[in-house]
Amino acid sequence: GIQVEQSPPDLILQEGANSTLRCNFSDSVNNLQWFHQNPWGQLINLFYIPSGTKQNGRLSATTVATERYSLLYISSSQTTDSGVYFCAGDTGGFKTIFGAGTRLFVKA
C-alpha cells in the first residue's frame, strides 16, 4: 500500500521562527490534506491541497503532485501552533492514509 513519510518527526522552535514540514508519498495520491492536532487531541483541517499552493494567514502549503510531495510552511510561529501536524491522502476509493506526523513544540 501507499507509504506516507513526514519529516522532521519532531521540531522545536523559538516563538517567531519559521519552519517547513514535508510530506512524501510513495505513489500518486488524491485529496491531499494537512491537519493540525492540538494538545487536547482535536484534529483541525488546515488545507485541502491536491496540487498547487494555498495560503491561510501565517500558514501556507504547496503540493507538487507530479513529484509526490507536499510542504507546509509556518511563519512567525506562535505557542498555539504546538501540536502534531499530519498529512494524508488516498489513492482512490477514499481510503485515507495518514503519515506519522510532525510533533511541533513552540517555546515562548
Partner 1 sequence: GAGVSQSPSNKVTEKGKDVELRCDPISGHTALYWYRQSLGQGLEFLIYFQGNSAPDKSGLPSDRFSAERTGGSVSTLTIQRTQQEDSAVYLCASSLVVAGGPGETQYFGPGTRLLVL
Q: Are 63 and 70 spatial neighbours (Cβ–Cβ below 8 Å)?
A: yes
How far apart (Å, rounded) are the C-alpha atoms in residues 75 and 61?
Answer: 11
Nearer to partner 1 among residue 17 and residue 91 (C-beta): 91
Binding flag, residue 24, partner 1 (CB under 8 A): no
Least CB distance to partner 1 at residue 45 (A):
5
Torsion, CA 6, CA 9, CA 14, CA 17, rounded to 10: -20
Contact code string over 71-100 relative to partner 1, x by CB under 8 A: ---------------x-x-x--xxxxxxxx
Least CB distance to partner 1 at residue 46 (A):
9
